[in-house]
């Protein structure tokens, strides 16, 4: 049995995540995911929208995923790989070279990300919509205030 291990936050689960998990599962028989906890994401300077328990539930409901465990720090990967008896450690190519030190215990693969979609992009769009709504509300209040003054 060939085990694949990967790590991530998987916030705002989208088609890019699905395609990554599908590609990972094709590499072996068993796919396990180290899911970054909310606390670890805070340490990394990331803000998550969906809490850990919900992100874990979403991942476990995906037909490509066999197991999910908490990722609580950068240093745990070596122990996780050994515990899970992983054959391949795979992660997005935005991390190229960062995990080459694990090549002594596992095959390290960097996979291309899905084009034109990322959680960061989705969050940016959501933020812009929020800013536009704030401006709209400010303009409305300014207009109402001006009307009240005229009365």
CA–CA distance, 20 with 71 (Å, rounded to integer): 18
Q: What is the pLDDT of residue 8?
A: 94
For residues 6 and 91, the answer to whether their CB atoms sit within 8 Å is yes
Which CA distances in Å does 151 have to 28, 143, 146? 73, 13, 9
For residues 20 and 62, the answer to whether their CB atoms sit within 8 Å is no
Contacts of 105 (CB under 8 A, 6+ apart): 78, 81, 82
Q: What is the pLDDT of residue 83?
A: 98
To the query of whether residue 44 is one of the catalytic residues in this protein, the response is yes
Catalytic option among 44, 98, 134, 138: 44
Q: List the domain boundaries for the chain.
A: 3-113, 118-151
**Per-residue pLDDT tens digits of the chain, which is 151 residues long:** 999 999 999 987 878 889 899 999 999 999 999 999 999 999 999 888 889 999 999 999 999 999 999 999 999 999 999 999 999 999 988 899 999 999 999 999 999 876 666 666 655 656 666 666 666 767 666 666 666 666 6
Give me 9's structure tokens. 């936050």
Q: What is the pLDDT of residue 70?
A: 98
Q: What is the pLDDT of residue 16?
A: 85
Q: What is the pLDDT of residue 125?
A: 57
- CATH topology assigned to domain 3-113: Rossmann fold (3.40.50)
Catalytic option among 2, 25, 46, 150: 46
To the query of whether residue 46 is one of the catalytic residues in this protein, the response is yes
Q: What is the pTM of this model?
A: 0.77
């Amino acid at each position: 049995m060939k085990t694949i291990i990967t790590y991530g936050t998987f916030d705002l689960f989208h088609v890019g995540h699905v395609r990554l998990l599908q590609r990972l599962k094709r590499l072996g028989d068993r796919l396990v995911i180290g899911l970054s906890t909310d606390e670890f994401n805070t340490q990394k300077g990331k803000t998550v929208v969906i809490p850990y328990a919900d992100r874990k539930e979403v991942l476990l409901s995906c037909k490509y995923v066999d197991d999910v465990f908490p990722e609580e720090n950068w240093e745990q990967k070596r122990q996780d790989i050994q515990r899970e008896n992983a054959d391949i450690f795979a992660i997005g190519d935005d991390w190229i070279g960062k995990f080459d030190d694990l090549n002594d215990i596992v095959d390290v693969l960097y996979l291309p990300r899905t084009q034109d979609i990322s959680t960061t992009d989705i969050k940016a769009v959501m933020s812009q919509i929020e800013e536009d709504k704030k401006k709209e509300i400010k303009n409305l209040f300014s207009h109402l205030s001006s009307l009240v003054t005229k009365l």
